[in-house]
Amino acid sequence: MRAVLTVIGHDKVGIIYRVSELLASCNVNIADITQTILQDYFTMIMIVETDACNCSFKELQEKLDALGTTLEMSIRLQHEDIFNSMHRI
């Protein structure tokens, strides 16, 4: 299953590393990634594949939420179909 991961917050060293490290530890593959800096804000969107994830989707969301708290950033993980439904025009 694919999911959309968004990361938003003030730019700092190591954001991509920390998020990627957590995903790798959970056996989640990054299928696509884009990131940019908008003024002082770091923004990143990843498409991830969770089929081989070694924890439940809910546990993965909780781990990412905890990392977001540590990094003082917003990190959200949504199933791709839910993300698409919410952003359909």
For residue 89, tell me if it sits in a domain.
Answer: no
Residue type, 86: M
pTM, two decimals, is 0.90
Q: Which domain holds residue 67?
A: 2-82
For residue 88, tell me if it sits in a domain.
Answer: no
pLDDT in tens, 66-78: 999 999 999 999 9
pLDDT in tens, 52-67: 999 999 999 999 999 9
Q: Residue 40 is part of a domain; what is its CATH number?
A: 3.30.70.260
Domains identified in the chain, total number: 1
φ and ψ at residue 46, rounded to 5 degrees: -125, 145
Dihedral sign, Cα of residue 9, residue 69, residue 45, residue 12: positive
For residue 76, tell me if it sits in a domain.
Answer: yes
